[in-house]
Structures are given as structure tokens and as C-alpha cells.
A and B are shown apart, each in its own frame.
Chain A
Amino acid sequence: MNDNDNNTLQQLMVCHHCDLVLQKPPSVPEHHRVFCPQCHHKLLSHKPNSLERTFIWTLTALVFFMPAIFLPLLHLDLFGQSPSSSVMSGILALWQQEFYSVAVVVLVTSVLAPMLQLILLSYVTYSLYFGHKLPGLVRVFKAYLELRHWGMLEIYLIGLLVSVIKLIDMAEVVVGIGLFSFIALLMAQIMAVFSMDAPLFWRLLEQNKATTKELPQ
């Protein structure tokens, strides 16, 4: 009876924006997405080779992470001096001017959340892709999902463009190497998020859990 009920639940899905119960499609066709017929929420999308692509893009993003955060994004040529600014030096400047809460928010949204997201996601994809059983996978993936609202690299880039426009009248602004790394990081990170197929990851994590439980016996 209970198994039967579980099987029924397996074939259903529920829109978490309007609580509508739907039949789960066996697969999503190429270039297609499944929307909730009642509230138009996007429920499923086709993501080919999700595991491989997510793994590659998270690794790429991690490679560019340190240079993007620590190398200068912009140089200024003003009154014979040429100060430069990186993501990290901006946070330090806020901290030195004793705006601790702003500094912490910027640190979380532009460094910690994106970095943790990439590390956590690469941990999960590595384990699933190579079949190495690493501890705490479910918890790590949950933490990754919790963080997704707080990484704001794309907004930082727009903020950077606005700053350039603000400064362009008063000084010569030169692009630094950090900016190229930052754009590469942003691209790779966006690609990683877009190739990540959450329902697939949960299915694999469940299979993974089932096999680890059998091992000690």
C-alpha cells in the first residue's frame, strides 16, 4: 500500500508557486521547457549533458576566481597619479571607512557567496561525475541552492560600468587585467548555473545515497 502510494507520488509533480498537481513528463524534449499551466511558472527545462557541462564550467569559473577578485579591475589616470581598484580593495576601503555592514554585504554578495557556490557545486559534480563517494553531498547541494540568491557578480559588473561612466569626465580610466578575468568568471559561472539540471542532480544524489547505504552490509 505504502509502496503503491510512493509510486503514485513518483509519477507526479507539484508546482511550488501555486500548488497545482501535475503528471510528471518522462523527459523534456530538446529546446523545450515545461511551464505550469495554472501560473506559468517554469517547472522543467531540457539541459543536455548537464553533469559534464556543469563540471567543466564550474572548474573554469574557479580558475578565474582569484585573479577576478584580487587583480585591479580599473586604473585611473588623475593628476599624475594612477590608483587602481579591485573587488577586494573596494571591500577593504569600505571597511577602513568603518562602514562594516556595507563591507560585509558586498563581501558576501561579490566574493563569499559566488566562491562558496562554485566550490560546493564542483564538489557535488566531481563526486557524481567520477563516482567517488564524498561525505555530506546532500547537505552541500542544499547549501549551494540556498546561496543562489546572494551571488551578485553580474550586478557588480553593471555597477562597474556605471562607475566608469561617472569617472570618464574627470579622469582617464584604463581597464585592468582583473576586469577580463572578472568577465570570464561571470560567463563561466552563468554557463555553470544554466547547465545545472537540479532534478537530475537530486535523482543522482538519491541513487548515490542508496548505494552507499548498501556498502557496509
Chain B
Amino acid sequence: MSDISYSPKSARALNIAVCHHCHQLVRGHGRCSRCNTLVHFRKPDSLTRTWAFLIAAIAFFIPANLVPIMNIKMLGQGEPATIMEGVILFIEHGDLPIAIVIFVASVLVPLLKIVALVFLLLSVHFEWARTARRKTILYRIVEFIGRWSMIDIFVVTVLVALVQLDKLASIEVSEGATAFCFVVVLTMVSALCFDTRLIWDIKEESTKGNKR
């Protein structure tokens, strides 16, 4: 038994599946005896689902950055603002740290997240077996920081509720906010559908191949 635990074999090779809710180990697949979840060796249709949500996210990414997310009206004059314009406004006001926070959270993070997920998916498709650990860490970073892009949506929410002074000053939401919201949610769902164990399966296959 102790040699099982130190073998570099994957659990699937030993016919052990892990319940994704309670992490109980199950022989073969079926239902988890503890929490009754349907247990799979790998997340079902992981690649197809990840691609589907990711492509949808990419489609929304373009309007999210080009269409204004809010419309600031001061004394009757409208001034629609996209996310980048908001960042530039902060730089002009000398609030560089805030400009960086907004730029990173709203532009860089969604973009890098999409690029990272495309890279991870391609690496599984084309069976790039190297740097499996680094790819897993990349996935964990994507999973962790993805939610932080919601900052801009919350900023719009607060401003819209606060600045409603009829003709003097008012802030209205604009279509870009909807697109932006979808980008964040879709990339989050896409990341949740991805199964990092697929990366390790390729590594296992390739080391097996080398031994032969």
C-alpha cells in the first residue's frame, strides 16, 4: 500500500476518481458515497465547454473595451467614457496608482486571462507536455484573479446610484457595461470548466512513450 502512495501514477491509472465536492476517493466512477455527487475521472467535456465560454467571452471583449461603459453628464453636457478613457482621466488627474489598478483589473486581467486560457487549451490540444507545473500554476492565477475584473462594474453601480442630480450632474450606464459584465462572467465560467489534470495526462502519456 505504501508503494501506491509514492508512485507518480495518476489516480485514474489506479482506477481512483475524486469527488469534486468533498474530495472523497471513489473506486471507478459512479456516485460519491458521502455526498451523492456524480463522480468523474475528469471534468466532463472540459475542452468543449471551456472553448465555448471562452469564444463567447472573446466576442464580448471587443465591445466591452470600445463601447462606453458609462455616460457622465455635467451641466447638460454628455461625456461618454470607455474604460480606457477612465484610465486616461485618472492619469491626467495625477492619480497614477488608481489608474494602474483600473488598467490592470479592467483591461489587462481580462485580456491576459483570455490569452492564458487559449494557451492552456492549445497546449492540451497539441499535447505540449513540458512545464506542466507552470501551466497548473498559471491556471490557478487565472482562477484567482479573474473575479477582480468586476471592480469596474461595481464602480459604475456606485456612481449611477450616487450621481443623480437631474440636469446638474448625472451618470448613466451604457451598453459597454453589459458587454464587460458578460466578459467577466463568461471567462470565470470558462476557467471553472477547464480541468488541469488534462495537462498532467499528457505529461504521463509522453513519459510512458519515452520509456518504450
The answer for the CA separation of A138 and B31 in the assembled complex, in Å, is 14
The answer for the CA separation of A160 and B162 in the assembled complex, in Å, is 11
The answer for the CA separation of A198 and B23 in the assembled complex, in Å, is 9
* Interface residues as binary, B1-40 with A (CB distance below 8 Å gives 1, 0 otherwise): 1101111111110101010111111110000001111000
Would you call B23 and A93 a contact (CB within 8 A)?
no
In this complex, how many residues of chain B approach chain A with their Cβ under 8 Å: the count is 73
Known: A39-B132, A40-B137, A78-B169. A166 touches B147 (CB 8 A): no
Tell me, rounded to whole Å, the shortest Cβ–Cβ distance linking B187 to chain A. 12
Identify which of residues 125-170 in chain B touch chain A, using a CB-to-CB cut-off of 8 Å. Answer: 132-133, 136-137, 139-140, 147-148, 150-165, 168-169
Identify which of residues 142-156 in chain A touch chain B, using a CB-to-CB cut-off of 8 Å. Answer: 142, 145, 149, 152, 155-156
Say yes or no: is A14 at the interface (Cβ < 8 Å to chain B). Answer: yes
Would you call B162 and A149 a contact (CB within 8 A)?
no
The answer for the CA separation of A160 and B132 in the assembled complex, in Å, is 39
Say yes or no: is A21 at the interface (Cβ < 8 Å to chain B). Answer: yes
Tell me, rounded to whole Å, the shortest Cβ–Cβ distance linking B95 to chain A. 6
Tell me, rounded to whole Å, the shortest Cβ–Cβ distance linking B131 to chain A. 11
Would you call A165 and B98 a contact (CB within 8 A)?
yes
Nearest A residue to B199 via CB reads: A18
Would you call B173 and A94 a contact (CB within 8 A)?
yes
Would you call B155 and A163 a contact (CB within 8 A)?
yes
Residues of A within 8 A of B (CB): 5, 8-9, 11-14, 16-23, 38-41, 73-74, 76, 78-79, 81, 83-86, 89-94, 97, 99, 101-102, 105-106, 109-110, 138, 141-142, 145, 149, 152, 155-156, 158-160, 162-163, 165-167, 169-170, 198-199, 202, 205-206, 209
